Structure 1
Amino acid sequence: MISFAEQWARWHDEHERRRAAPHGFLAITGLHWLTGTPQRFPGVPGKWHAEPDAIVAALESGERRFPAGEDATLRHGDLEIEVTWRGGQGVLRPRDPAHRTRVEYRGTPAYAPDEKWAVPGRFVPFDEPRPVTVGSVVEGLEHVYESPGRLEFTVGGRDLSLTAFNGSTPGSLFVLFTDATSGITTYPANRSLTVPAPEPDGSVTIDFNRATNLPCAYTEFATCPLPPAENRLPVPVEAGERLGSVDGGTAGASGGADRHPFHR
């Protein structure tokens, strides 16, 4: 039978593999905000501009239009160019497997897995899903996500709760949070945690051992959301991923990779 620690190690190894994928967030070389004026960007073919209903690329092969609100990818040699929108504004993010951040990445340290941090809790749905506006590591940018309810649980004798968002798989939940370790042993801006779909009676397991850094912990070219104010836990959560890298370097850009709506 596989032990709790072995299960965690397998999960974290896979998470690290995805984070360091050839065209993952560690490969991003720039964050280019588009305007109505056609512009060229380093390493990106053609000229680009944004219109109210599309991002437009003037390429050697002709004009390409990318509809507003839809993400797309353009290949250019080894480069992948992410075409996306943030706060209603068009954005380009080139991804190069040879980018220094990815090539020099040696992994992220984490607290040793401990079953006490696989905390039992309860999902309490709202009468109706609520839009929740959160800030971003990019000054002036906001994200709006739908919250179906909150997670209630107890740590160290204290009753706590977290506003939850819809996860990337049906029924699953996703939370952004900080805690009393943030900025000391863990990334200061945010950590993220996926929670499996609640049981019919609302019971859940909130496994903080699987709390992870968002991309803004590694690159200045991310637009990660910040936790809602009520998700700033007053207790230390000494579980999950930590600050730094396994070779002793510092992880961190401006604020912290799987492909998920919150992994920006």
Structure 2
Amino acid sequence: MTIQDTPTDLTAFTAAWEEWHRQKDASLAREHGFLAVTGLHWLDAGPRRFPDAPGSWWTDADGVGVELAEGEELVVGGTPVRGRHGFGVIPERGGVEAVWGDAVIEVAKRGGQDLIRPRHPGNPLRTRFTGTPAYAPHPRWVVTGTYTPFPEPRPTTVGAAVEGLQHVYDAPGEVGFRLDGTPLRLTVFNGHTPGSLQVLFTDATSGVTTYAANRALHIDAPAADGTVTLDFNRATNLPCAYTDLATCPLPPAENRLPVPIEAGERIPRERTGPIAQ
């Protein structure tokens, strides 16, 4: 299949994209979203305090625990807790949120390691956010492709934005398509909604006009014949494009496209200069 070049109401197409992008940025900048993260604290057996969270934190065979000092309180699942509290064993890519005043302390596991990640709504990265730069949307970047499932899902190990960390995902298949006559293929992972797919990729714009490490693309569930639509206008940055306090996965090696995808989100303004604290 080739890039679509059929007549399209560009005004309506652009308006739909702008509404999608507005909602995407609003979600990113929500009160306790990734722009509110103030620390990425990896836990070990030795209890430690951190400047942006209450209590002393550790992890052991029983899971994550915290010892709150006199006058300190967290609210977990709607219940106030004081003193010593155990969160239990956190599953991989799982997490629990504990409320502390107007902040939320995320307790999570990534790459087999337990962590806490405090989220404060007053973080300057969030309060000064003005939106994500992007290429002007155009129908030429809406591409028809074909999804081919693997005989069995393939466990696929990828790197992470945090050095030394790895993620493992089951890849159910791959998508083949063409850009300007060039045949390309992408390994896909399961998406966030039933039947949908997600792609992590880089291309010839990565590190030039788009974020160097990765971008992501949601793909709706394939049709019965395997047909899928890839709308690269909706290629998005992951949280690691905005903050070093994210553990985002990197694309598998085969998803490094040799062609430029001049569509979707560009390098965030937050990466063009320091954010004053």
Question: Percent sequence identity over matched residues?
Answer: 55
Counterparts in 2 of 1:42-191, with a 5 A limit?
42-60=51-69, 61-66=82-87, 67-69=89-91, 70-191=94-215
- Letter of the 2:220 counterpart: P
- Letter of the 2:152 counterpart: E
Unaligned runs of 5+ in 1: 254-264
- The alignment partner of 1:162 has SS state of strand
**Contact 2:39–2:52 (8 Å) recurs in 1:** no
1:204 positional shift: 0.5
Count of paired positions: 250
Relative distance call for 1:16 and 1:156 in structure 2 (3 A) is same
1:203 positional shift: 0.2
* Residue of structure 2 equivalent to 1:199: 223
When normalised by structure 1's length, the TM-score is 0.91
Distance 1:113 1:25 in 2: 25
1:16 positional shift: 0.5
**Contact 1:19–1:26 (8 Å) recurs in 2:** yes
Q: Which runs of 4+ in 1 moved over 2 A?
A: 249-253
**Contact 2:38–2:52 (8 Å) recurs in 1:** no
- The alignment partner of 1:148 has SS state of strand
1:201 positional shift: 0.7
Counterpart among 16, 24, 35 of residue 15 in structure 1? 24
Relative distance call for 1:251 and 1:200 in structure 2 (3 A) is farther
1:244 positional shift: 3.4
**Contact 2:241–2:268 (8 Å) recurs in 1:** no
1:251 positional shift: 5.1
For the pair shown, the structure with the greater C-alpha radius of gyration is 2
1:252 positional shift: 8.2
**Contact 1:121–1:204 (8 Å) recurs in 2:** yes
Counterpart among 13, 28, 34 of residue 37 in structure 2? 28
Distance 1:206 1:121 in 2: 7
Structure 1, residues 107-130: CA drift from partner, whole Å, max 9, x if none?
A: 111111111111000110000111
Structure 1, residues 25-59: CA drift from partner, whole Å, max 9, x if none?
A: 00000000001001111131111100134111112
Relative distance call for 1:251 and 1:91 in structure 2 (3 A) is farther
- The alignment partner of 1:188 has SS state of coil
Counterpart among 27, 33, 41 of residue 50 in structure 2? 41
Distance 1:252 1:64 in 2: 40
When normalised by structure 2's length, the TM-score is 0.87
Unaligned runs of 5+ in 2: 1-8, 70-81
Distance 1:47 1:23 in 2: 22
* Residue of structure 2 equivalent to 1:259: none
- The alignment partner of 2:271 has SS state of coil
Distance 1:152 1:11 in 2: 25
* Residue of structure 2 equivalent to 1:261: none
* Residue of structure 1 equivalent to 2:244: 220
1:198 positional shift: 0.5
* Residue of structure 2 equivalent to 1:3: 12
Distance 2:176 2:252 in 1: 16
Matched, 1:209 2:206: no
* Residue of structure 2 equivalent to 1:256: none
